[in-house]
């Protein structure tokens, strides 16, 4: 799985367009992943677009981030998977 994130562009709301170094691209609504206190500001329309790409990770100024392997998995699936689905994928991939 190539997780080298070349470009990420906010598309409005909590939707982001992702472009990876291997040419794969996807548009993904991250709303289902934005839970917990650290993601509260990220949900707002003014704050969401403030992310930066750092080490292939989407990271916001408050320290919230999304793991690059998880982000690529969701991008390939076309949606944010549940925590159980994400954990199941990585437990099989690691085993």
Residue 1: which pLDDT band, with cuts at 50, 70 and 90?
confident
pTM over 0.75: yes
Q: What is the 3-state secondary structure (H, E, C) of the chain?
A: CCCCEEEEEEEECCEEEEEECCCCEEEEECHHHCCCHHHCHHHCCCCHHHCEEECCEEECCCCCEECHHHHHHHHHHCCCCCHHHHHHHHHHHHC
Confidence check: pLDDT of 95 > 60: no
pLDDT tens-digit map of 85-94: 999 999 986 6
pLDDT tens-digit map of 21-61: 999 999 999 999 999 999 999 999 999 999 999 999 999 99
**Structural domains of the chain, with CATH:** 5-94 (3.30.2020.10)
Are 43 and 34 a contacting pair, CB within 8 Å?
yes
pLDDT of residue 94: 64
């Amino acid at each position: 799985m190539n997780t080298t994130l070349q470009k990420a562009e906010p598309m409005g709301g909590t939707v982001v367009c992702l472009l990876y170094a291997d040419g794969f691209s996807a548009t993904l609504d991250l709303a289902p992943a934005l839970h917990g206190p650290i993601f509260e500001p990220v949900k707002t329309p003014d704050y969401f677009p403030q992310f930066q790409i750092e080490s292939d990770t989407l990271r916001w100024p408050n320290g919230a981030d999304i793991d690059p392997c998880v982000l690529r998995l969701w991008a390939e699936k076309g949606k944010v998977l549940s925590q159980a689905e994400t954990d199941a994928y990585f437990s099989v991939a690691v085993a």
